[in-house]
Structures are given as C-alpha cells and as structure tokens.
C-alpha cells in the first residue's frame, strides 16, 4: 500500500474510531505539513525509529501524513552499523530505507563521522599508524555510501565538530576520537572521501547551538564560521550546513536577528542550509501543559519564520514526530525536573496535533517559495 492509497483509506475510516479524531481530520484536510512544504519547494520530515515503524501504526500514520523526508534517529550511527571492526549490520538502517522506499519518501544520511555513538573498539583502533587511522575513517564512509548509493537526499558527513567550552584555540571539539587521531584534518578527509564515493547528493556539515545570543552560542557560531572558512580555503567539498535546531527557549531565548546574521554568513559561503533536528525543549517552561505548548509554538514560529526567509534553506526535519518517543524526555540536558514527558514535537503522545504543528504549518505557508 503506498501513501496515497493509505491516506484514501484513512479518509474513508474518518468516521470510525479506528484512528484518532485529529488523524481523521488530518486525513480529510488537504494541507499536511508535507503538502505545505512541497507547495514552497521545501521538504518537511522527521527522524524515525525503526522499532516504532514496526510496532506503532499511529506513528506510521502521522509520518505518512506529514513527512516527505526521513532521517534515521539512531540506526545509521557507527555504534549500530559496525559493532565489531569490519562486521557491518545494516538491518536497522535498511528497515528505515525500505519503509521510505515503499512509501516514496526521501531519506537523508545521518551521520558518517561523529564524536559520539561510536563502537567501543574504535578509540583503541585509532591509536595505530596514520595509514591505519585513515583506513578506519575512509573504509567506513565508503562502505556506508556504497550501500546507499542513489538513495540519500543528502548526507551529514561530519557532525558536531566544534565545542568552544573545551578551550581549543579554534573552538574545535577535543573530546573527539577523530580530532585526537587526526587533528582538524579528519574533516577534510571525511568530506573528500564522501565526495569520491558519493553520488552527487549534497554533503553537509552539521551542528547545534547557534540560535541564541547567549555567549556559549556566540562562541559556537564563531567557531563554526571560522572552521568553514578554513575548510573552504583548503577546497574541502562542503555543500551545506545543517542547523540541528534543538532549541532551549526557557534557558536561552531564540534571537531572530542574531540567528539571521549567522544565516547570512552561511549563505556568504554559498552553502545550502537545512533545519535537520528541530525540537523545542520545554525544560524550565511553564508547568501548565497548555501554556507550555503555546510558548513552544510561538518559538517554533519565530524560528522557522526566520530560517525559511533565507532562500538557501532546503527543508525542515523535526527530531521525531510525536512526544511519545522524544529523546528529550530521557536525557539530562533536556528532561523536565518534574519528570513529566517532554512536549517538544508537532504531535503529543496520543498523536493529537499540538500548537507546534500549527506553528510549523503557518511558517511553511508564510515562507517564500524556493526559486522565487
Ligand atoms: C541521538 C538520538 O536521538 C538517540 O536516540 C541516540 O541514542 C543518540 O543520538 N544530535 C545529533 C543526533 O546529531 O544524532 C543525536 O541523536 C541527538 C543530538
């Protein structure tokens, strides 16, 4: 069953209890987030978990309703793909690819080179001679890109390369097996390898913490822009920059003008851009869920209005579609002190649309069409 058949069926079911009221309404309404994005030449989608694709039909319904592009939440992390040196397991990653392929959805590859979610054996293996270290980076990128040749809309080649709080002269992340093995040259090697083994899909650098005027964000923006300048000077083949978009408005307010200045700098390098992991942390937000939802929606709208006003922006992906599975409910920097589930994504844990869904819809409707 492809997505069109599925949604026709969902519309027919609209009067039954088989799907939630908001989903019935969604199935009947013409303008999903995917359709609103398509109308402007943009993509809208989300990170997905292969386990939920398999076990949660409401999750699948929400994704097929609103998403046109997917990204693996964790299945394409090296820890899951190469648990033992040279022994690759693509079952989880393939499950997402197969789901996307059967419904005509795009997928973006996240991520080829990251300081985190690496298999335990890698750090030790990177202690060998330089040729061996290079082989460990090159062979992985080659293996993964060869497998998904022609299937990825874009790639996050290097993820989270900067961390100014680690007091490197240039703000590079030092708690990073790749930086420890190569210094900054790992980034050029990764992108050149991706270029050589790629199929022309755009190659992105990806990072977070660039949307507020707090000092920590200012230092991250500076480190990122200086890094891109150095990479450009060395003809490193970077096509785009992915802004993750893990906003934390109740701790570091979103500042449109500050973010717009950063976007102008990125466009000055001729880079395409994307919001690749949007969720709006509600840690330290109002205890009343309704109030919290309204404030999260207002920040979402302001952020996307600013981001989508830039023609380099190619699309928006949320880091999940429903609060039922958000990573923010589980990890320290984001989870709420009162232990309640984080309310950070377009659908709540019962797949009811939240004000954030409408904020994304309004921002897409208000965005200038690409190419205009
Ligand atoms: C996280 C996933 O949400 C977790 O499920 C996984 O265990 C670890 O990775 N920035 C990123 C993402 O680029 O890859 C991270 O995703 C979240 C932070």
Can you spell out the DSSP letters for 278-334?
Answer: EEE--TTS-SSHHHHHHHHHHHHHHHHHHHHTSTTEEEEEES-SBGGG-GGGTSTTT
Task: Give me the pLDDT at residue 167, please.
Answer: 81
Residue in 277, 317, 322 to alter for ligand 1 test, most ligand atoms within 8 A of Cβ: 277
Residue in 159, 327, 330, 335 to alter for ligand 1 test, most ligand atoms within 8 A of Cβ: 327
The residue segments making up the domain with residue 267 are: 3-366
**Is 371 domain-assigned?**
no
**Is 275 domain-assigned?**
yes
Per residue in 232-259, pLDDT tens? 999 999 999 999 999 999 999 999 999 9
Cα–Cα distance between 74 and 303 in angstroms, integer?
A: 25
**Is 240 domain-assigned?**
yes
**Is 372 domain-assigned?**
no
Task: Give me the pLDDT at residue 24, please.
Answer: 62
Of all protein residues, whose CA lies closest to atom 6 belonging to ligand 1?
74
Q: Quote the ligand 1 centre to 329 CA distance (angstroms).
A: 13
**Is 343 domain-assigned?**
yes
Q: Would you say the CB of residue 73 lies under 6 angstroms from ligand 1?
A: yes
Task: Give me the pLDDT at residue 7, please.
Answer: 53
Task: Give me the pLDDT at residue 113, please.
Answer: 98
Task: Give me the pLDDT at residue 6, please.
Answer: 55
Looking up residue 142, the CATH number of its domain turns out to be: 3.20.20.80
How large a percentage of the chain has pLDDT more than 70?
Answer: 92
Tens-digit pLDDT profile for the chain (372 aa)?
555 555 555 444 444 444 455 566 555 555 999 999 999 999 999 999 999 999 999 999 999 999 999 999 999 999 999 999 999 999 999 999 999 999 999 999 999 999 999 999 999 999 999 999 999 999 999 999 999 999 999 999 999 999 999 988 899 999 999 999 999 999 999 999 999 999 999 999 999 999 999 999 999 999 999 999 999 999 999 999 999 999 999 999 999 999 999 999 999 999 999 999 999 999 999 999 999 999 999 999 999 999 999 999 999 999 999 999 999 999 999 999 999 999 999 999 999 999 999 999 999 999 999 977
Q: Would you say the CB of residue 322 lies under 6 angstroms from ligand 1?
A: no
In the chain, how many domains are there?
1
CB 30 within 8 A of CB 7: no
Q: Would you say the CB of residue 50 lies under 6 angstroms from ligand 1?
A: no
Cα–Cα distance between 240 and 236 in angstroms, integer?
A: 12
Q: Would you say the CB of residue 117 lies under 6 angstroms from ligand 1?
A: yes
CB 50 within 8 A of CB 296: no
Q: Would you say the CB of residue 204 lies under 6 angstroms from ligand 1?
A: no
Question: What's the pTM?
Answer: 0.92
What 3-state class would DSSP assign to 76?
Answer: coil
**Is 175 domain-assigned?**
yes
The closest of 101, 176, 114, 172 to 140, measured between CA atoms, is 114
CB 286 within 8 A of CB 292: yes
**10 Å Cβ neighbour count for 12?**
11
Q: Quote the ligand 1 centre to 368 CA distance (angstroms).
A: 31
Of all protein residues, whose CA lies closest to atom 16 belonging to ligand 1?
73
**Is 92 domain-assigned?**
yes
Q: Would you say the CB of residue 74 lies under 6 angstroms from ligand 1?
A: yes
Q: Would you say the CB of residue 327 lies under 6 angstroms from ligand 1?
A: yes
Q: Would you say the CB of residue 244 lies under 6 angstroms from ligand 1?
A: yes
- Ligand 1, residue 206: give the atom nearest the CA: 13
């Amino acid at each position: 069953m492809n997505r069109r058949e599925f949604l026709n069926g969902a519309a027919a079911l609209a009067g039954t209890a088989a799907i939630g009221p908001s989903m019935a309404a969604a199935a009947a309404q013409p303008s999903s987030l995917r359709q609103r994005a398509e109308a402007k030449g943009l993509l809208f989608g989300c990170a997905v978990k292969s386990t939920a694709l398999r076990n949660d039909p409401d999750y699948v319904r929400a994704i097929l309703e609103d998403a046109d592009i997917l990204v693996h939440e964790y299945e394409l992390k090296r820890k899951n793909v190469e648990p033992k040196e040279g022994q690759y397991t693509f079952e989880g990653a393939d499950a997402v690819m197969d789901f996307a392929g059967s419904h005509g959805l795009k997928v973006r590859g996240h991520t080829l080179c990251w300081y985190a979610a690496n298999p335990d054996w890698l750090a030790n293996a990177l202690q060998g001679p330089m040729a061996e270290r290079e082989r460990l980076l090159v062979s992985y990128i080659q293996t993964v890109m060869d497998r998904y040749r022609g299937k990825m809309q874009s790639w996050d080649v290097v993820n989270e390369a900067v961390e100014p709080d680690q007091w490197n002269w240039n703000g590079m992340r030092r708690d990073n097996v790749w930086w420890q093995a190569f210094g900054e040259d790992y980034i050029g090697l990764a992108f050149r390898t991706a270029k050589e083994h790629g199929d022309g899909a755009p190659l992105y650098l990806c990072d977070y913490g660039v949307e507020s005027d707090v000092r920590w964000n200012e230092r991250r923006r500076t480190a990122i822009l200086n890094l891109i300048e150095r990479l450009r000077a060395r003809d490193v083949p970077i096509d785009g920059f992915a802004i993750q978009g893990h906003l934390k408005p109740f701790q570091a307010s979103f500042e449109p003008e500050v973010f717009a200045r950063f976007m102008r700098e990125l466009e000055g390098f001729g880079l395409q851009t994307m919001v690749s992991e949007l969720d709006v942390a509600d840690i330290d937000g109002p205890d009343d869920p309704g109030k919290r939802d309204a404030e999260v929606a207002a920040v979402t709208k302001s952020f996307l209005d600013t981001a989508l006003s830039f023609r380099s922006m190619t699309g928006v992906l949320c880091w999940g579609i429903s609060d039922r599975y958000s990573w923010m409910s589980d990890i320290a920097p984001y989870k709420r002190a009162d232990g309640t589930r984080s309310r950070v994504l377009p659908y709540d844990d019962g797949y009811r649309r939240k004000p954030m869904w409408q904020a994304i819809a309004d921002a897409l409707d208000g965005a200038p069409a690409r190419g205009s």
